[in-house]
Chains A and B, each alone.
Chain A
Amino acid sequence: MRDVLGIIVCNMHDDLVPQLTENRTLGSIPFGGRYRMIDFALSNMTNSGIYDVGLVPSKNYQSLMNHVGNGQEWDMSRKNGGLSILPPYAGERGVYRGRMEALYGVREYIKASTAKNVVLSDSDVVANIDLRPVIRQHEESGADITLIYKCTEVFREKKQCAALFFDECGKLLDLYLNPELEGTQNIYLDIAIIRKPLLDELIAECAAKDEHSFVHSVLMAKKDVLNIRGYQFDGYCNKLTGLRNYLDSSLALLNPEVRKSLFPAERPIYTRVRDKVSAKYGENAKVSEALVTDGCHVDGEVEKSVLFRGATIAEGAKIKGCVLMHNTFVGGGCELEWVITDKNVVIPAGTHLAGSEKYPLYIPKDTVL
C-alpha cells in the first residue's frame, strides 16, 4: 500500500524497563528467542503491504540500527521509499518528550510522503496485527484517527495504560490514563491510523504550543472536534509494562495458542538472520516446556524457559522460569530460577541464583559472575 506511511517511534516507554533499555531502545529489546521488540511492528507493516516506514529513535539507537540495517529482512530495502531511519539532528533536542515532539523532528519526511494515511506505532506491543482491515475500517468509517485497542484486564503495573471509552456510534468519548479501574477495559495499543494532512497540521500546532504528547494534546484535547474511532484487536497481544511483564510475556510464548496467534504461517514475524547452526542437545539434556533458538547448546535441565541464540546450558545445570538472552553461558551444576540474563552473561559452574516469579532477577549485559 503506497498510500499508507508507517512511522515507528522507537524510544517511547524506555523508562518502563530501565534495566533492558540501559544500552538500547525499547524497540531493540530482545524478545522471544530470536526477535527484537520492533520486529513485530515492522513485520505487521510488511505483512499489511506497508513498505514505506520511518523509524524515529532518539537515543541509544546503535543496536537498533545494527538490527534493522537497510530493512532488507522486512522486504523494506526499496529503491523508492522503503525503510528510513530518522535519528534526531544535532542541535535539536535529542531526547523527545513525547510522540508529537518526535514527529516534529521528522516533519519534513512526513510532509514529503504522498500517503493518505499514516500508521503511528510504538514498539512496545508484541502482537501479530493485520493492519489491512484496520485501514479499511478507518477509510469506510470516515474517521480522522482510528485507535487499535484490545479488550483486556487493566495492567497490574498501571503504567502507560490508556483505557478508551466509545459512544454508541463508536466515537471516542473519553480516555483515562493509568486509571484506577479494575477488570476488563479497552486498552489502547499505541497504534493509530491517522489521516496524513491532519497529522501534518497537528504536528505544526503542537510544536507551536510546545505540546508534545499525542495522548494529551491530540486524543484528549481533540476528542470532541475530531472523529476518533477504535478498532478492536482480537488476537494475542502484550504491551510491555515492566520487567515482570517481560518475564510473563516471554513465558507466555510457551502456550501453543499464543504462538499460533503470534506466528501464523501466512504472516511471519521477520527478523535479522544471523546464520547460526541448529540447536544441539547433548546426551544429558532434559527439557520440558522451552522455546529454544538456533545456536543453543543444551546438555542440562531446562524447564519453562526461553533460550536465545547461542545460549549454553552445561551438563548438570538446572534452569527454571528463566529467559536467557544471546550467548548466555550457564555452567555445570548451576541452579537458576526466575532469572533474566541479558546478552553474553557468564554464570560459572555451581552458581545458584533465584529471583521470584513475581520479581525476576535481572543480570545486565556482559556480566561475568
Chain B
Amino acid sequence: MRKKMIAMLLAGGQGSRLYALTKDLAKPAVPFGGKYRIIDFPLSNCVNSGVDTVGILTQYEPFELSEYIGNGQPWDLDRMGGGAFVLPPYQRNTGRDWYKGTANAIYQNLRFIERYNPEYVVILSGDHIYKMDYAAMLDEHIKKGAAVTVAALKVPLSEASRFGIIIADGDGYITEFEEKPKNPRSDLASMGIYIFSADKLKKYLTEDEADPESENDFGKNVLPNMLEAGEKMSVYAFEGYWKDVGTVDSLWEAHMDLLDGSDLNLYDNDWKIYSRSPVMPPHMVEAGAEIKGSMVTEGCTVGGKVERSVLFAGVTIEAGAEVKESIVMPGAVIKAGAKVYKTIIGEKAVIGENAKVGCAEAKVTLVGPEAVVADEETVEPGAIFGKEAVK
C-alpha cells in the first residue's frame, strides 16, 4: 500500500554551540527534560501523528544516536513495511559525499523515499522541543493545494531578525522569504518543518543538486527557487511551545520553562513523548534530603538539597550537596558539600566534595560529560568546564 506521508528527520547537526555537550554526541541525542533526548520530540510527534516511517539522517557522531534509535521500538517504530531507519551518507557508483546541506542530505536519500513511494514527505529537524500534529499540517497542505507547506510560529517582532521570516498573503500563501532580516516585515518565523508533495520535492531537489552555485539548503536555496518558479507555497501557523535548544542558554531556559509549567505539557496521555528507558528502579529520597520545585527520575538517589532543578536518570546528589537551578544529566554524581548553581552538568560528570560550580546571578555554567571537578575546586560562573572543551 502506498504511504500517505513519511518523515525525513535531519539529525546530522553538530550543535557546536552546545560545546562540550556535543563533543562526542550528535545534537539530537542531547538529553532533555529528565527522561528524554531532543530527538524524542520529533519522533514522538511522528508516531502520534500517524507517521510510521521515519528516515533519520545522521552524519556527526552517529554511534550513540544510532544505538539510541535501535529498532525504533520505544517509539512504536518497529514496523513491518516501515519504521525508523538511520541513514548515514554512503558511497554509490556515482561517487561519495558527506551531506553538504539540508537539501543535499535529502537528495542523497531520494531512493529511500522512492522505496516507500509516499504522496507527501515531511522534513523535520532534530534540534527543537515542541509538540505538533503533522497530520493536521498535512490536511491544510492538501486543502490549500500547495507544493510545499512551511510551518511557522509567531515571534515577537523585536526578535524576528534572528529567524528566517515568512511573508504571506491573506490566504496563507507565501509571497516572500527573508533570511534574518534587519527590519522584519512579518512576525512569522519558519520552524524548519516542511511538508512537500513528493513529486515537487524530487523535482526541486534534483534541480538544486544540478546547480553548482547552490549551498544545497532548504531555507536558502530550495524554497526561494520554488517561490520564483511560481509554486503554490502555503504557511501553516503553529501555536504552542517551540524552542530551539541549540545553545547552552536556551537549553537551560527550556528546562526552567518545564519547571515553571510552560505550554509544553508532557503529561498529556494523548500525546505522550516516548523515550528509550534506562531500566532503573524508582528514585530514592533519603532522610535529610530536601527537594523543591524540581523534576527527578528513575535511578536517582537524593540525599542533599535540590531546588528548581531537573535530575536525569541515575543521578546521585549526596547528603550536604546543594543543587539549584541546574540540570544534571544521566549518571552524574554531586558529592557531599558541593554547591552547584545555574549549571548544566553533562552525563557521568563528577563534582567533587565541597566544590563550587556556577553562580545564580551569572551566566549558565557548563560542566561537560565525564568531566571531573576535583574536591574543593571552584568552577567560575559562566565557564565551560570539560575534559577538552570544544572551542
Contact between B281 and A263 (Cβ–Cβ < 8 Å)? yes
Contact between A277 and B34 (Cβ–Cβ < 8 Å)? yes
Interface positions of B from 242 to 299, Cβ below 8 Å from A: 266-267, 272-275, 277, 279-298
Query: A4-12, A18-26, A285-293, A334-342: which one contacts chain B?
Result: A285-293
User: Is B56 on the interface with A (CB-CB < 8 A)?
Assistant: no
A275: chain B residues at CB < 8 Å are 272-275, 277
Query: A157-165, A265-273, A345-353: which one contacts chain B?
Result: A265-273
Of A32, A72, A262, A279, which is within 8 A of B297 by CB?
Answer: A279
Contact between A287 and B294 (Cβ–Cβ < 8 Å)? no
Q: State in angstroms the CA–CA spacing of A259 and B296 once bound together.
A: 18
CB distance from A317 to the nearest CB of B (A): 16
A207: chain B residues at CB < 8 Å are none
B277: chain A residues at CB < 8 Å are 273, 275
In the complex, which residue of chain A has the Cβ closest to the Cβ of B293?
A: A283
Contact between B285 and A273 (Cβ–Cβ < 8 Å)? no
A235: chain B residues at CB < 8 Å are none
User: Is A144 on the interface with B (CB-CB < 8 A)?
Assistant: no
Contact between A278 and B279 (Cβ–Cβ < 8 Å)? no
Q: State in angstroms the CA–CA spacing of A288 and B291 once bound together.
A: 10
Q: State in angstroms the CA–CA spacing of A302 and B274 once bound together.
A: 29
Contact between A291 and B35 (Cβ–Cβ < 8 Å)? no
CB distance from A310 to the nearest CB of B (A): 10
A292: chain B residues at CB < 8 Å are 282-285, 296
Q: State in angstroms the CA–CA spacing of A286 and B305 once bound together.
A: 11
Contact between B73 and A279 (Cβ–Cβ < 8 Å)? no
User: Is B118 on the interface with A (CB-CB < 8 A)?
Assistant: no
Interface centre among A268, A281, A284, A290, by most B CB within 10 Å? A281
User: Is B38 on the interface with A (CB-CB < 8 A)?
Assistant: no
CB distance from A343 to the nearest CB of B (A): 15
B280: chain A residues at CB < 8 Å are 263, 268
User: Is B192 on the interface with A (CB-CB < 8 A)?
Assistant: no
User: Is B373 on the interface with A (CB-CB < 8 A)?
Assistant: no
A287: chain B residues at CB < 8 Å are 285, 289, 291
Contact between B274 and A32 (Cβ–Cβ < 8 Å)? no
User: Is B101 on the interface with A (CB-CB < 8 A)?
Assistant: no
B266: chain A residues at CB < 8 Å are 277
Of B34, B73, B74, B306, which is within 8 A of A278 by CB?
Answer: B34
User: Is A294 on the interface with B (CB-CB < 8 A)?
Assistant: yes
User: Is A33 on the interface with B (CB-CB < 8 A)?
Assistant: yes
CB distance from A96 to the nearest CB of B (A): 32
- Please count how many residues in chain B sit with their CB below 8 Å of the partner chain's CB atoms: 35
Q: State in angstroms the CA–CA spacing of A173 and B311 once bound together.
A: 53
CB distance from A364 to the nearest CB of B (A): 23
Interface centre among A72, A280, A283, A287, by most B CB within 10 Å? A280
Q: State in angstroms the CA–CA spacing of A254 and B33 once bound together.
A: 26
Contact between B285 and A288 (Cβ–Cβ < 8 Å)? yes
User: Is A99 on the interface with B (CB-CB < 8 A)?
Assistant: no
User: Is B351 on the interface with A (CB-CB < 8 A)?
Assistant: no
Q: State in angstroms the CA–CA spacing of A223 and B29 once bound together.
A: 58
Contact between B282 and A269 (Cβ–Cβ < 8 Å)? no
CB distance from B81 to the nearest CB of A (A): 18
In the complex, which residue of chain B has the Cβ closest to the Cβ of A282?
A: B293
> Given that A32-B281, A32-B282 are contacting pairs, would A72 and B73 also be in contact in the complex, using a CB cutoff of 8 Å?
yes
B274: chain A residues at CB < 8 Å are 275
In the complex, which residue of chain A has the Cβ closest to the Cβ of B308?
A: A283
> Given that A72-B73, A275-B272, A287-B289 are contacting pairs, would A281 and B284 also be in contact in the complex, using a CB cutoff of 8 Å?
no
User: Is B30 on the interface with A (CB-CB < 8 A)?
Assistant: no
CB distance from A46 to the nearest CB of B (A): 11
Contact between B284 and A291 (Cβ–Cβ < 8 Å)? yes
Contact between B295 and A278 (Cβ–Cβ < 8 Å)? yes
> Given that A72-B73, A289-B286, A294-B298 are contacting pairs, would A281 and B292 also be in contact in the complex, using a CB cutoff of 8 Å?
yes
In the complex, which residue of chain B has the Cβ closest to the Cβ of A302?
A: B285
User: Is B310 on the interface with A (CB-CB < 8 A)?
Assistant: yes
CB distance from B232 to the nearest CB of A (A): 39
CB distance from B58 to the nearest CB of A (A): 24
> Given that A273-B74, A287-B291 are contacting pairs, would A278 and B282 also be in contact in the complex, using a CB cutoff of 8 Å?
no
1/0 per position for A235-258, CB-CB distance to B under 8 A?
000000000000000000110100
Q: State in angstroms the CA–CA spacing of A256 and B286 once bound together.
A: 9
CB distance from A236 to the nearest CB of B (A): 13
CB distance from B242 to the nearest CB of A (A): 19
Of A253, A271, A283, A307, which is within 8 A of B292 by CB?
Answer: A283
CB distance from A176 to the nearest CB of B (A): 35
Q: State in angstroms the CA–CA spacing of A280 and B306 once bound together.
A: 12
Contact between A288 and B283 (Cβ–Cβ < 8 Å)? no
User: Is A320 on the interface with B (CB-CB < 8 A)?
Assistant: no
B284: chain A residues at CB < 8 Å are 254, 256, 259, 290-292
User: Is A36 on the interface with B (CB-CB < 8 A)?
Assistant: no
B286: chain A residues at CB < 8 Å are 288-289
CB distance from B285 to the nearest CB of A (A): 4
Q: State in angstroms the CA–CA spacing of A277 and B298 once bound together.
A: 10
User: Is A34 on the interface with B (CB-CB < 8 A)?
Assistant: yes
A294: chain B residues at CB < 8 Å are 35, 282, 297-298
Contact between B291 and A291 (Cβ–Cβ < 8 Å)? no
B298: chain A residues at CB < 8 Å are 34, 293-294
Q: State in angstroms the CA–CA spacing of A232 and B136 once bound together.
A: 61
Interface positions of B from 50 to 73, Cβ below 8 Å from A: 73
CB distance from A259 to the nearest CB of B (A): 7
Of A268, A284, A285, which is within 8 A of B279 by CB?
Answer: A268
Contact between B281 and A33 (Cβ–Cβ < 8 Å)? yes
A286: chain B residues at CB < 8 Å are 290
A285: chain B residues at CB < 8 Å are 291-292
1/0 per position for B8-34, CB-CB distance to A under 8 A?
000000000000000000000000011
Q: State in angstroms the CA–CA spacing of A291 and B294 once bound together.
A: 16
In the complex, which residue of chain A has the Cβ closest to the Cβ of B279?
A: A268
Of A34, A282, A284, A298, which is within 8 A of B282 by CB?
Answer: A34
Interface centre among B274, B281, B298, by most A CB within 10 Å? B281
Q: State in angstroms the CA–CA spacing of A258 and B375 once bound together.
A: 29
B275: chain A residues at CB < 8 Å are 275
A-B residue pairs in contact (CB < 8 Å), sample of 5: A33-B282, A281-B292, A289-B285, A291-B282, A292-B283
A residues contacting B by CB (< 8 A) are 32-34, 72, 253-254, 256, 259, 262-263, 268-271, 273, 275, 277-294, 298, 302, 306-307
